[in-house]
Amino acid sequence: MTRIAAVHGALPSHRHTQREVTDMVARTCLPPGADRRVLDRLHENARVRSRHTVLPLDGYRDLDGFGPSNDVFIRSAVDLGAQAVRGALRTAGLRPTDVDLLMFTSVTGIAAPSIDARLVTRLGMRSDVRRLPVFGLGCVAGAAGTARLHDYLLGRPDDVAVLLSVELCSLTFQRHDTSPANLVATALFGDGAAAVVALGGRRAVAGPEIVATRSRMYPDTEHVMGWDIGSTGFRVVLDPGVPDVVRHYLADDVREFLGEHGLKPKDIAHWVCHPGGPRVLEAVTEVLDLRDGALDVTWRSLADIGNLSSSSVLHVLRDTIEQRRPEPGTPGLLLAMGPGFCCELVLLRW
């Protein structure tokens, strides 16, 4: 079976309290003299204490349009991505030349050549490394990308595969946009990256084993999450009904998936859940009837760094490995949801 040899997270150097971010959003999104009570309430209720950004907060005032924001994305994604991949390979005891597949995912910027292509020479990878850039999966991509590494390694059990996620959500905040969706996004999302190193079954390595995966698309839900893309960049689509979609679909999918492996939700020792936001996490806890504290690592990640889109669930996975130290042989479930609307489940054995 595929094993996860290492997970490494990377964060930009600019760290801010939630209040500092709220004040920046008030300056850039609200008209002069506007009543900011709704903004303050949204940011206070997000359960986020601090976040990291690729620019100093004053730098967002000067970003005008999609082009300048995307230029910052490319430069910063290469730097942060290199840091994440180097850290993961170092932890796994591997070199860049050992990598056979490099998968890159982001939904907060675009580049051609893609970010992964720009990293091959910078990191010293082989010229024949396979690359797979992925755009559009959004928050689900950390889980989906891990599952796709597993799919690849089932067919190539001697290989080393790396997933890199870089999400610079602050670059997508829309200036002068007072819509509820934009204000909610500014309350939740931060910047960060993460890399996963996975090894095929013929390579002996310690680490969580990927037992099985499941992808699920939900009908008539395309409108609940995504982007409207225009001259100002990525304008968030975020329907307030997202928690209701979770309540309607998630429990049956999880129970069916676990049941195929002789398990029930109560058997899962560690839940590695994407921190979509307080209302989403409350819905997950409710429909799966999770025990108290089951999502503590996820809640802590949300508070410390915010929602990093696809990178977040990988930070939660790293924190679970390092802080919870799961007992060998116990089952875990990695799960995330994103645009589509869709869900990705990855069954782990520690």
- What is the set of active-site residues? 139
- Output the 3-class SS for the chain: CCEEEEEEEECCCEEEEHHHHHHHHHHHHCCCCCCCHHHHHHHHHCCCCEEEECCCHHHHHHCCCHHHHHHHHHHHHHHHHHHHHHHHHHHHCCCHHHCCEEEEEECCCCCCCCHHHHHHHHHCCCCCCEEEEEECCHHHHHHHHHHHHHHHHHHCCCCEEEEEEEEEHHHHCCCCCCCHHHHHHHHHECEEEEEEEEECCCCCCCCCEEEEEEEEECCCCCCCEEEEEECCEEEEEECCCHHHHHHHHHHHHHHHHHHCCCCCHHHCCEEEECCCCHHHHHHHHHHHCCCCCCCHHHHHHHHHHCECHHHHHHHHHHHHHHHHCCCCCCEEEEEEEECCCEEEEEEEEC
